């Protein structure tokens, strides 16, 4: 694997213009800043070489340039509601040279440069890394009011069930080789970058947006 101190490291933020839950979500105001600015600032303060935004939207393009990110315009056919992130990652790989790719989400504004740098340290020993928080067991129920994966007649003790990692969607790091071979954001020998639950929230709904605004208050 390419040594990290010799590698060309690019950060990529995927930001489509279309958003069903929150219109213009990626540039919506969050405590005086457009949402995407938080991701750009975290990436620019990390150990990555360059920060790119992949978008199909002129407004997002101009906002990204304003905050000193480079922009790669994304074709319409991979910017649809059902387009997979991997399509945009591979489009980026086809256009921009890199050894290691850091993919972060603009909907995760609580990510810090330290999180990104911790993932870059881990990639020395893995093919891919993704961020997650640790969750201890809680009783879950289906929408039909049935226990999900446990029995109400023999409810287990919380401490008797091993904790699990929950992917928080904030950071994915992989090598060019792994991305092009697998066509996935993570593959091969995968490492998990643990982030605290308190910084693992994403903005996907109005409720999420209200919460993030409270968490980011000075």
3 state SS of 156: coil
Which residues are within 8 A (CB) of 58 and not within 5 positions of it... i.e. 6 or more apart?
none
- Catalytic residue chosen out of the listed positions 24, 155, 158, 183: 155
Cβ atoms within 10 A of the Cβ of 178, count? 22
Residue 155 bears catalytic tag: yes
In contact, 178 and 187? CB cutoff 8 Å: yes
In contact, 120 and 139? CB cutoff 8 Å: no
- Rounded to whole angstroms, the Cα distance separating 187 from 201 reads 24
Tell me how far the alpha carbon of residue 10 is from its chain's centroid: 14
Question: What tokens does 124 get?
Answer: 């020395």
Nearest Cα residue to 53 out of 66, 35, 29, 72: 72
Cβ atoms within 10 A of the Cβ of 89, count? 23
- Rounded to whole angstroms, the Cα distance separating 121 from 164 reads 23
For the annotated catalytic residues, the residue numbers are: 155
């Amino acid at each position: 694997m390419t040594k990290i101190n010799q590698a060309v490291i690019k950060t990529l933020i995927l930001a489509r213009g279309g958003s069903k839950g929150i219109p213009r979500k990626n540039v919506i105001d969050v405590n005086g800043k457009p949402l995407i600015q938080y991701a750009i600032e975290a990436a620019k303060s990390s150990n990555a070489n360059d920060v790119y935004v992949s978008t199909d939207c002129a407004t997002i393009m101009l906002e990204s340039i304003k905050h000193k990110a480079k922009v790669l315009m994304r074709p319409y056919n991979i910017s649809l509601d059902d387009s997979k992130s991997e399509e945009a990652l591979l489009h980026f790989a086809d256009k921009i040279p890199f050894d290691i790719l850091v993919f972060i989400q603009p909907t995760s504004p609580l990510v810090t440069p330290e999180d990104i740098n911790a993932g870059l340290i881990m990639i020395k020993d893995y093919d891919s890394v993704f961020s997650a928080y640790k969750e201890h067991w809680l009783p879950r129920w289906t929408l039909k009011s049935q226990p999900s994966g446990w029995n109400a007649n023999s409810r287990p003790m919380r401490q008797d069930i091993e904790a699990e990692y929950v992917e928080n969607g904030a950071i994915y790091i992989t090598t060019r080789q792994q991305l092009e071979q697998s066509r996935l954001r993570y593959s091969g020998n995968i490492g998990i970058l643990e982030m605290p639950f308190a910084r693992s929230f994403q903005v996907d709904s109005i409720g999420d947006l209200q919460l993030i605004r409270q968490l980011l208050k000075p």
